[in-house]
Structure 1
């Protein structure tokens, strides 16, 4: 009996899930077996994380179930890929129970996404919070509300002032929305704290770049900057962090801000999984062809944040697609189509997509958007931003939950409840993003050779 080809997809972000959905729809039941490696059986709608952190949306509303597919037949492996041996065609996986599994494949789709980009800044890894996972968003919400509770209970003016200062690093999409949404949270919540002086609440948004969200263009970027400053957010450009301790942040311009809250959103880098491959990279992302194949490795595709996919629509030499949801959602189906073409002996097709623009929800009635190059702000921009996100949600249930959350928050506001994610021991970036879990290339090869010798590679027959 002929064995069916095995397609292994790593990552359940926009790229990986859209790839799996297309494979399920277009592949015949006997054409291939499909498996998906992910620690969680949901797709996270990442652009709405700031609204979870600020309480506008519940966590479940943007965690879209992977098991609602009408043609569901993908085997979900609950864990994370920690290494790939491209020569042996085996992926090393650590399951959610810490078991090591060696999974063979015939076709590999690398869509592991990205992790928070950090720098060698003293104290940063130990004291900063990220905004890349659902757990981080829920944790940050608890942390921010706990700072209000602790400030309200304190009789020490210095402690109270420190707990009411909040620093967000990163003037891109994620940082700007995070600062804007959480600032609205604290200023709405302070009405429930009669002992607190609202003027003590200070939000700082800093970025090393000279402009806020340069991808918006000069005019919209300046309008977004004005909205934030009019709200009282202290925006500092051309500035970064020099040092972080448990109770203060030192900026590169010499200022020292007493605070217990540093939210780090200063960009992303490809998943550390890419470093286990011994393959060529471009600006830290895996080098791929326009068809999203990895050169020199038959049957291996890469896409999304972890891959340097050539941006053919720009018509510029060496241009690569930015790590955005918009591109990932469209690269996924294209990779699926190319795998099907490869299975059927047909030519592969290149990925081409023109950027549709950017939408930025600043909370309430404030937003700036640039769909198809048209500059918008205010209510109309807010309608475009929320309409885009709502339409991009994958299931009707997710759309219903998000719409109900928006309406309920607009009518009834927030109860500012802490749910208990803020533990006594402060969490670190690595606790959420597992960046210390990956193997080195040599460790991957050793693990796979040992597993093959012991017959522990699932379904693989040596020499077959």
Structure 2
């Protein structure tokens, strides 16, 4: 989306004359601003303000809602599965002259028994809202049941993965859940049990060792059970079994243990590195491939400015970390280089020195390591909000998010679970089935 947004500007005259066409293929008609997912799950931001509608943001582009399943770069054709492909009997084929591959990443799962049945991801806005509804429903279950085992299981929340997604989701949801307990006559905040499972020996490695240690102390101070150098071995029957031998009956298991490049990359035949990412030049071209470009999580772009952050044995220089900080800037450079290539001009290298990281640990709590300065608590949380507000696309979206933050600071949190939104036809189907059995009487 960011590449297409910039291309609309750099190719404006060519678009007006009909000399070029920008085609955007995406599985959803919107882009999700993922750093806001934890706040959407906690109710600080409305779900519709976490996403950016493509048709409004990219009016000069042709939008195709579908999923690219393969790319034949020799023939310059992409195969796209759309919602009508099954009815029409064949997928859509999209010819192209220049290819920009930026599908990002998908959740990386492991063959853990029971994970597919009971795990909840945290990468899409749908998952974030479903998780919010699920957590609040567990409080309702715990409040209404007389079964002690069911109550304890409902009040136990297990998060697997101590990176950005896991820590931020845990911090926001723990904050929300303990706040919601004040509205239940028989629940206390200390009744809730949150467990963070991390396979390495640290949490939040992105913010540095010192801030990572502070994060660990802060989480434990909030009575969050953090298990380092521990793996999830099984979650069959809603029981989380850890590698340290402990067993934790839990009705909530959130999986945030890493990502991997999108599977479509394997169906392109383009050169990839050992991690499955496309090998790119500093100009964001795919290595040894004409008319193919890439950026973001799926691209292994040489980092010309910093020390190794993700060593790649196949690269002669370190590669840029797969994060939003690089992806957004790479997209802009890619669009400018693509425009230059069309005009026969010289291409520029992508360079961006690592500026640091910020993370939220819940309302008014955070950590930051920016340009060598370390912040924690309220200042870090404020910086986190300011940074992401500046990065979310379009003025319209910025204004709405800022308005919601302002209103949420003036009024109490919303603690309503709307789990029925996930199955909107359930009540109608029951009613229709009853009428069918009774003959409509």
TM-score normalized by the length of structure 1: 0.85
Q: 1 CA distance for matches of 2:306 and 2:188?
A: 51
Deviation per residue, 1:355-390 (Å, 9 max, x gap): 111011112221111111210112211121110011
Deviation per residue, 1:101-158 (Å, 9 max, x gap): 1101000000001011111222222221111111111111111111111111111000
User: Which residue pairs with 1:257 in the alignment?
Assistant: 248
Say yes or no: does 1:287 pair with 2:274: no
Q: Is the 8 A contact 2:301 2:320 kept in 1?
A: yes
Q: Is the 8 A contact 1:90 1:103 kept in 2?
A: yes
Tell me whether 235-244 or 218-227 shows the greater mean CA deviation: 218-227
Give the one of 65, 79, 82 matched to 1:95: 82
Say yes or no: does 1:302 pair with 2:286: no
Say yes or no: does 1:43 pair with 2:31: yes
Q: 1 CA distance for matches of 2:5 and 2:98?
A: 16
User: Which residue pairs with 1:173 in the alignment?
Assistant: 164
Which stretches in structure 1 are left out of the alignment for 5+ residues?
1-16, 425-464
User: Which residue pairs with 1:20 in the alignment?
Assistant: 4
Greater RCO structure (CA 8 Å; 6+ sep): 1
Say yes or no: does 1:413 pair with 2:412: yes
Give the one of 119, 128, 143 matched to 1:128: 119
Which stretches in structure 2 are left out of the alignment for 5+ residues?
309-315, 425-441
Say yes or no: does 1:378 pair with 2:369: no
User: Which residue pairs with 2:312 in the alignment?
Assistant: none
Q: Is the 8 A contact 1:49 1:134 kept in 2?
A: yes
Q: Is the 8 A contact 1:288 1:309 kept in 2?
A: yes
Count how many residue pairs are aligned between Structure 1 and Structure 2. 408
Cα distance, 1:223 vs structure 2 = 1.2
Q: Is the 8 A contact 2:304 2:317 kept in 1?
A: no
Q: Is the 8 A contact 1:358 1:371 kept in 2?
A: yes
Q: 1 CA distance for matches of 2:166 and 2:37?
A: 11
User: Which residue pairs with 1:112 in the alignment?
Assistant: 103
User: Which residue pairs with 1:217 in the alignment?
Assistant: 208
Alignment of 1:143-162 (within 5 A): 143-162=134-153
Say yes or no: does 1:397 pair with 2:392: no
Q: Is the 8 A contact 1:142 1:422 kept in 2?
A: no
Q: 1 CA distance for matches of 2:348 and 2:398?
A: 32
Q: Is the 8 A contact 1:86 1:297 kept in 2?
A: no
Cα distance, 1:307 vs structure 2 = 1.1
User: Which residue pairs with 1:33 in the alignment?
Assistant: 21
Give the one of 72, 80, 83 matched to 1:85: 72
Q: 1:98 to 1:196 in 2, by over 3 A?
A: farther
Q: 2 CA distance for matches of 1:413 and 1:116?
A: 34
What secondary structure sits across from 1:314 in the alignment? coil
Q: Is the 8 A contact 2:364 2:382 kept in 1?
A: no
Tell me whether 201-210 or 309-318 shows the greater mean CA deviation: 309-318
Give the one of 127, 130, 137 matched to 2:128: 137
Deviation per residue, 1:42-71 (Å, 9 max, x gap): 2211111011111111101111222344x7
Cα distance, 1:268 vs structure 2 = 0.8
What secondary structure sits across from 1:376 in the alignment? strand
Q: 1 CA distance for matches of 2:208 and 2:118?
A: 33
